Chains A and B, each alone.
Chain A
């Protein structure tokens, strides 16, 4: 009797696991996995990396690891690369750029609000586009690349 019960329980557990595994093959509506625009994702990744690099050379410059000349040269080169990538993204998927901008705007508003609450810094020390703190003599925002001085 116990032996039969063992066999039945083992079969039941196995059946539940097997059914769960093969279920997506017979129920295509429940799928999480979709195909995606890989080209655009690559471009966005590359742009993110360049923007991160810009932040890093800015930081290295402030901590005196990069000379003024090297910083300006690298900064210009990286900004050109970032702009070129943004144009490519715009061309490949115009909606993505729009959505990204919408996202950036929403984040920057929240970020700016939080900063104003926490510090006594005046709003003029922040980038008007993304809300990142900037020095008074900065020509460009270190985060989003927006031109700060004409």
Chain B
């Protein structure tokens, strides 16, 4: 019964979303407060109804209500409650409902946050947000109903995809969804700015924080996905340029470019068209990413759910492009630049170069991702572009981007004189050259030396920025160095949070270079108590254990890792294979990992014979990989510093409430 009510609440939400779009646009155009207010109420009502429907589905999943086709297909009684929670995004209909749920919550937060501000923009923002929700409600109601019932009550479900039964798969998708869906907010503000003709620099100021938050989630989601691939897929790597990995990387690229280019519009009133295009492209790539995951148009290990929703997505994408182009060309005269770039040695010029590089990487990744589809349409043969192509094309551009990350912050806004350039670049360049010369003796290979030297250069520039900023602050306030540093970061969160993010990216870059250029591997079959040596480590196989755990049988191999020369025991690892009761033909692997700052010792159990008398392993030594996860954490901390409210800066108050704000701030 409750599931019928939940389905009807989705229908009501769909109707209210349509109504909200109409009153939002009408209220915005005619400046009728009652209509604008009604669109605000529609956002809240839709959020309430979607939350109700989502809770109903979770209730069905957690209580094993197998009369629901969705629960029957994606869950089972023996599944741990922890993983049952993630069943909602394990299949088509549930994941679309989850998308809509997060969007409705984001929309409600934005609507409440700006209920007394931005009167010209907000009705259109409501309309834009509700129009996206409307599309997903149409999908849920007409194509992918999560509350569809099968008429009988089966004794048990068919089980969750084994690959999803990993703790990273509980957090990674949520992070990706929070990132993906959150990028709808800046898109809605861009559409609102176009519709209301309020195309000054105000909307970009508002969306900076609303872009940074989803960007942080998306970054964390991508890093967690890499960690999952590293731990679960057992091929020694973390990124395979898989189409669905690329689908999450593409909006990250354009979103990052947008975060940089809005700084120029905010400061100098430039790149207005580019910014509108970038954020709409980001949202387009979000929908395209959801489409590729959900339609199964591109073969991928991630395409868990495939069905007929593709037609809906394709139609929506076409509508989106046409609607945006119409709006853009209609408002083009209002998007002219207020100023020009003064000098090539300015921060704005570095930002423009950074945007060109981001655009280039996006295009190359998009081309490589969709090339198999294009080749199939044109020639009839599906020709895939493999990881080496991406590494060759995208790798050098990413390296240039990292280099710019070091150069940009050293330049001042508008113009940097030759003398200032010398003062800024001497220390990082000298230390970088010193590092390059020393490292070449250790490893005389061009690309890793170049890459690591660039990373070192950027890290030095970041340290220099912190040191110089602290000195400058001390010269004004006479604070002690630590207080000066803390206050500097607190009062300039955007700048120094950004530097921390850059530092996180540098660490990720170092890990990628270490893994890409210095990885060593061996495949070996070992009898009990037999050893193999690799890079100064001895791996000794000591036996195999089998144990039951919930809905699966786990086979653990025991290996001792010791120093090959001294024989001293370093650690023990237990790579394992999981055989699931419902899907015995889809065993999953859990790698045995010993992590060190210098390298990861990574062991995969490939198979065994004679009940464990012999076992086959793939052993990898992955240098510097740990720094990828450390870099990810630093990136998140940096973003939090960026979005943290300035200790004293006030937001622009509504004209009617200035005295109250003044009193509140003063007290």
Contacts and interface: CB of A to CB of B under 8 A. Distances in A.
B587 to A, nearest CB: 43
A94 interface: no
B9 A107 contact: no
A28 B35 CA distance: 10
B475 interface: yes
Contact of A32 (B35, B40, B420, B477): B40
Interface in B265-284: 266-267
B44 A33 contact: no
Given A23-B41, A107-B650, A64 B658 contact: no
A33 B420 contact: no
Interface in A33-65: 33-38, 40-42, 44-46, 48-49, 52-53, 56-57, 59-60, 62-65
B654 A36 contact: yes
B12 A14 contact: yes
Contacts of B650: 103, 107
Interface string B412-430: 1111110110011000000
A139 interface: no
Given A18-B12, A18-B16, A100-B658, A6 B41 contact: no
A21 interface: yes
A46 to B, nearest CB: 8
Of A23, A42, A57, A64, most buried by chain B (CB within 10 Å of CB) is A64
Interface residues of B, number: 76
Nearest to A3: B1
A103 B420 CA distance: 38
Interface string A82-107: 00000000000100100110110011
Nearest to A10: B8
Given A34-B119, A64-B424, A21 B200 contact: no
B201 interface: yes
Interface in B12-71: 12-13, 16, 19-20, 27, 31, 33-38, 40-42, 44-45, 48-49, 52
Contacts of B1: 2, 5-6
A67 interface: yes
B200 A42 contact: yes
A103 B665 contact: yes
A109 B666 contact: yes
A120 B12 contact: no
Q: Interface residues of B: mostly helix, strand, loop or mixed?
A: helix
Interface string B631-667: 0000000000000000010101111101101110111
A72 B77 CA distance: 73
B205 interface: yes
Contacts of A109: 666
A35 B28 CA distance: 11
Interface residues of A, number: 66
B411 to A, nearest CB: 7
A38 B120 contact: yes
A65 B33 contact: no
B644 to A, nearest CB: 17
A133 B27 CA distance: 46
B648 A25 contact: no
A67 B4 contact: no
A70 B38 contact: no
A144 interface: no
B304 to A, nearest CB: 31
Contact of A17 (B49, B120, B410, B665): B49
A20 B119 contact: no
B520 interface: no
Of B20, B34, B115, B200, the most chain A CB neighbours within 10 A belong to: B34
Contact of B420 (A23, A40, A42, A67): A67
Contacts of A116: none
B122 interface: yes
B651 to A, nearest CB: 10
A150 interface: no
A65 B410 contact: yes
A122 to B, nearest CB: 10
Contact of B411 (A21, A30, A65, A96): A65
Contacts of A2: 1
B472 A62 contact: yes
A146 interface: no
A92 to B, nearest CB: 11
A124 interface: no
Interface string B473-504: 00111110000000000001000000000000
Please provide the 9 A-B residue pairs with the shortest distance between their CB atoms, ordered closest to farther.
Answer: A106-B666, A62-B472, A65-B412, A24-B37, A10-B8, A103-B662, A99-B658, A14-B12, A67-B417
Given A6-B1, A28-B33, A65-B412, 14 more contacts: A5-B1, A6-B5, A10-B8, A14-B8, A17-B45, A20-B41, A21-B19, A32-B37, A37-B655, A56-B413, A63-B472, A99-B659, A110-B666, A110-B667
Interface of A: 2, 5-6, 9-10, 13-14, 17-18, 20-25, 28, 30-38, 40-42, 44-46, 48-49, 52-53, 56-57, 59-60, 62-67, 69-70, 74, 93, 96, 99-100, 102-103, 106-107, 109-111, 119-121, 125, 133-135
